[in-house]
Amino acid sequence: MNICKDRAFEVLKRLSFSRIAGTPGELEAAELLKAECEKAGVPAVIEAFEIDMPEIHEAKLTVTKPEVCEIRCIGIGKSGNTPDEGVTGPLLYIEDGLEANLIDAKGKILLLTGMAKPEVLERMRKSGALGYIACHGSIYDPEEMIPEIRTRNERRKPGEDANFPGVVIHMTDAAKLLNMGVEEITLVVKQDCDKKGTSHNVVATIEGTEKPEEIIAFSAHFDSVIYGTGAWDNGTGSITIMEIMHHFIKNPPKRTLKFVWCGSEEIGLCGSKAYCEDHKDEMDKHLFNINVDMTGVLIGYETAVCSCDEVVAKHIDFMGKVEGFPITTKVDMYPSDSSSFARVGVPAMTFARLAPKGGAEIHSRRDIFEVLDATAFIKTVEFMVKFSEQVVNARVCPVPRELPKELKEKIEKTAKMMGLDKKDEKKEEKADEKKAENK
């Protein structure tokens, strides 16, 4: 196998800087990856796409009764705007935002400590509440991590313009609000919800020797989130597919291989969605997507989530036993770029080396190079190369095209919840314009 842990970790070290969606850092990382491909003799292109980059002008949370104090917060992108003076009302703690949590929510400001899932957001909006406070972090975080609240944007269905302003606070401050017995609170959010930015994918191609018209696409997102260097999530995935690429440079594949480093995964799988849209006409040639989201962590365990026929999950389980590579497998959707491929009907899967609680952390300053281990990393790459070779060079593609019924239903359900089943007319118009320009 032509894989090398030292080469990979040297690239990883250089890649371990802030690569937030739509920022110059993300573009710099794209250029680094492209340069690495070209150095290895594989042509690569950077493909730009538009993303939502709402601009927060002001976010303020002030307790007004029983005493006056300010709570550190950041505005939630695309949530909405308050009047200049803000909205003022009683605080209602709604835990996970179930229906029973939302009785008497009208005219109040909601404190949500659970996940802001689309169905929870919808319930909150319909409740007649004035706005909401979401939470981030852990009450066990040290003092210096409390100001490091991760930015987030709401995902709106196309054409939906409900105004329901929200902010994020640290979990420690959520506990503080509850212990204080807050009676009244004022929320101010001012933002430009419609501001757009540009993000980038890097796409490298190795032409197949026997079946060049059939494509196997490897993917890994290379963007990171605020306050971390994203060494593990997903610098490691980025160098994993880079090593797989090195292997296939020396061992020419029968089918064509695409290596897709996706931007803006962290803000809603935007890079992979853009790739699938921009390469729409080629999607039926894409036989399989092998995605990698996090490998190489010292304390960890291997897993493969297959968004495709169960034969793949069973085969990986079988192979793991043959090779002495412990790995759990299942058929499901995974919150990473493989989902974008599955959504357009391309069988997909994600490999990940995850960590038990306390082993390593993502999405904070704790995601660092030092929790990683080159030996654990290379074991995963070795297994992935063996598995990939079978698919890439198979006489007949062993991955069934048809996705299992339950999986399709799950995809449809999420799409409906996110409004992805409705056509985004503005976007379609733009795409048509672009096509016309190219002609």
Dist CA 121 CA 165 (whole Å): 11
Q: Given the complex with Zn ion, which of 221 and 247 has the nearer CB atom?
A: 221
Q: Given the complex with Zn ion, which of 61 and 372 has the nearer CB atom?
A: 372
Q: Given the complex with Zn ion, which of 173 and 293 has the nearer CB atom?
A: 293
Q: What b/e readout covers 323-360, taking b as 16+ CB neighbours within 10 angstroms?
A: eebebebebebbebbbbbbbbbbbbbbbbbbbbeeeeb
63-92 positions binding Zn ion, by CB under 5 A: none
Binding range to Zn ion, per CB under 5 A, among 36-44, 227-235, 326-334, 420-428: 227-235
Whose structure tokens read 């993000």? 199
Binding range to Zn ion, per CB under 5 A, among 50-58, 204-212, 285-293, 413-421: 285-293
CB of 17 to Zn ion, least distance (A): 16
69-71 vs 196-206, strand pairing mode? unpaired
Backbone region of residue 22 per phi and psi (left: phi > 0; alpha: psi in -120 to 50; beta: other values): left
- Phi (first) and psi of residue 6, to 5 degrees: -70, -45
Q: Given the complex with Zn ion, which of 124 and 262 has the nearer CB atom?
A: 262
Query: Residue 350, interface with Zn ion (CB under 5 A)?
Result: no
CB of 232 to Zn ion, least distance (A): 9
Dist CA 394 CA 374 (whole Å): 30
CB of 408 to Zn ion, least distance (A): 24
CB of 59 to Zn ion, least distance (A): 26
CB of 335 to Zn ion, least distance (A): 8
Query: Residue 293, interface with Zn ion (CB under 5 A)?
Result: yes
Q: Which of 217, 228, 186 is nearest to 365 (CA)?
A: 228
Which of residues 223, 233, 243, 367 is near Zn ion by CB under 5 A?
233
How deeply is 397 buried, as exposed, middle or buried, from its count of CB atoms within 10 A (0-12, 13-18, 19+)?
A: middle
CB of 112 to Zn ion, least distance (A): 23
Residue 220 · residue 241 · CB < 8 Å? yes
DSSP 404: P
Query: Residue 26, interface with Zn ion (CB under 5 A)?
Result: no
Count of other CB atoms within 10 angstroms of residue 289: 30
Whose structure tokens read 């198979």? 394
Query: Residue 234, interface with Zn ion (CB under 5 A)?
Result: yes
CB of 375 to Zn ion, least distance (A): 22
252-271 positions binding Zn ion, by CB under 5 A: none
Binding range to Zn ion, per CB under 5 A, among 13-21, 84-92, 292-300, 427-435: 292-300
Residue 303 · residue 335 · CB < 8 Å? no
Q: Given the complex with Zn ion, which of 111 and 242 has the nearer CB atom?
A: 242
**# residues near Zn ion by CB under 5 A:** 3
Residues that bind Zn ion (CB under 5 A): 233-234, 293
